[in-house]
Structure 1
């Protein structure tokens, strides 16, 4: 197995999930790997090393950038790390790609490492003083964490009305309502998603795509999957979007409120998904 560390870097690439690589890096990887090349290995070689089947690879050929689509699918698998991707490239004798993109890859990895998601243990002091308004001797637990940006808060209010104040009787974690002020946003968010909430609802909109907080919450939840404690993410669209749906969530079934023909089933479907064991 080729080394997953570049000699001039102290970054442990095996500890960094593939979702840390941004659109710019994925696009450049596509520029190298998309063209069919009789001399050097292309994206199909990498796909085989990732474990994709012949039929899956043939279907990816129809995509505008099969490399980017490949990465979107592969990053959801166990052990999908930057280190593993670098190993695949080395095994395929594409060290030219690693060399050319090294600085960009390192920059992405460092940005990921700067996020508090890397802190493995949340300060136990939070349990003593509480982090949510209803915390007591036993930490408050929730059916779902709601990931949203402020411009979509009106829809979150409707979600509270439909899911908490009806026969579904679900308990949602809405940051602006449930979290006590004066706590570290990133650390508390991590604890709520990982330890206090069974599911996570992601309210997708054009503004969501520009939210650093939503980006962090989504990537943190994805970093927990698939693992011993599987976290089910449920993307929700409640109004038409002008921008593309986020690629890191395309493998998940969407709950779409914008379709009139299925709107009457929307809340029932969402409630049952949140109630599933």
Structure 2
């Protein structure tokens, strides 16, 4: 059945999610009944690429058409409105095409309009506020070895710590920088030049200059606003810990509860005597990953 929309929109580019529940329900009413003459949902599922065993399992569902459509959408990149119409034509269910085509075209029209509206409402990224590269003076020449006219100094890890934990940070420097690991750590009190905005250069270092961040967890850490900001900022750059950006470290016993915001991350624990010998090896290996 021809449609004015067909000449305007390539239905092969419209995902199946454009079809609302009314259309899907009507598809089920047409295809769910086992037909002796007309092709039913099984023929459609086979044309979609489902195996015999998969199709047999769908028989247990009350609405197999609905389940087949949902799984087809989840597993196939070509699960589009155009592909569905081609399959219905292939199994010779032109009756469905004639009955549902006006509703399908209306759903596609609404879907296209919603895309246009989202695009029109999208915020414009202005060049001067683009965060891809440091553009402002306070982000240039912020560490000891920075060359304002060349490449910025880069680090393997930013160390998030409280002043009361600085003795352990010194040990970390000895074990990771001055041994065979040869890692380069960003220690704020040692590497950052004075005179710039703390929050601006901290975010610059964590996001742009350091591959990872080591968080030294202690009771004092829980009371530090600076550590809280650094941790939450690093977590926002790696939601779900997809690239192992943040590594929590415990080096002494705590009286306060472990921060809940870090509970889903694997911890490097220095307080367990049985695993202390492996502590620096594990930490160095994690920081050496690409």
TM-score of the pair, normalised by structure 2: 0.52
**What's 1:259 paired with?**
272
Aligned to 2:285, which of 256, 272, 277?
A: 272
**What's 2:162 paired with?**
149
| Greater than 3 Å deviation, 4+ residue runs | 119-123, 125-129
Equivalenced residue count is 159
Offset at residue 172 of structure 1 (A): 0.2
What SS is found at the alignment partner of 1:198? strand
Offset at residue 225 of structure 1 (A): 1.5
**What's 1:186 paired with?**
199
**What's 1:211 paired with?**
224
Report the CA distance shift for 1:129/1:189 in structure 2 as closer, same or farther (over 3 A).
closer
**What's 2:141 paired with?**
130
Offset at residue 129 of structure 1 (A): 4.6
**What's 2:41 paired with?**
none
**What's 1:234 paired with?**
247
Q: Do the aligned residues in 2 keep the contact of 1:127 with 1:139 (CA within 8 Å)?
A: no
Q: Do the aligned residues in 2 keep the contact of 1:224 with 1:231 (CA within 8 Å)?
A: no
What SS is found at the alignment partner of 2:239? coil
Aligned to 1:168, which of 167, 170, 181?
A: 181
**Cα separation, 2, equivalents of 1:132 and 1:123:** 14
Report the CA distance shift for 1:274/1:128 in structure 2 as closer, same or farther (over 3 A).
closer
What SS is found at the alignment partner of 2:255? coil
**Cα separation, 2, equivalents of 1:218 and 1:128:** 20
Two-structure CA RMSD over aligned residues (Å):
2.1
Offset at residue 276 of structure 1 (A): 1.1
Offset at residue 126 of structure 1 (A): 3.6
TM-superposition CA deviations, 1:143-201 (whole Å, max 9, x none): 00000010000000000000000000000000000000001100000010000000000
**Cα separation, 2, equivalents of 1:128 and 1:206:** 32
TM-superposition CA deviations, 1:101-156 (whole Å, max 9, x none): xxxxxxxxxxxxxxxxxx87386234785010000111000000000010000000
Report the CA distance shift for 1:203/1:190 in structure 2 as closer, same or farther (over 3 A).
same
Gapped runs of 5+ residues in structure 1? 1-118
What SS is found at the alignment partner of 1:201? strand
**What's 2:45 paired with?**
none
Following superposition of structure 1 onto structure 2, how do residues 106-121 of structure 1 map, counting pairs within 5 Å? 121=131
Following superposition of structure 1 onto structure 2, how do residues 83-98 of structure 1 map, counting pairs within 5 Å? none
What SS is found at the alignment partner of 1:260? coil
**Cα separation, 2, equivalents of 1:127 and 1:201:** 24
Offset at residue 265 of structure 1 (A): 0.6
Offset at residue 226 of structure 1 (A): 2.9
Q: Do the aligned residues in 1 keep the contact of 2:268 with 2:283 (CA within 8 Å)?
A: yes
Report the CA distance shift for 1:232/1:261 in structure 2 as closer, same or farther (over 3 A).
same
Q: Does 2:239 correspond to 1:223?
A: no
Gapped runs of 5+ residues in structure 2? 1-128
**Cα separation, 2, equivalents of 1:231 and 1:266:** 17
Report the CA distance shift for 1:212/1:166 in structure 2 as closer, same or farther (over 3 A).
same
**Cα separation, 2, equivalents of 1:128 and 1:202:** 23
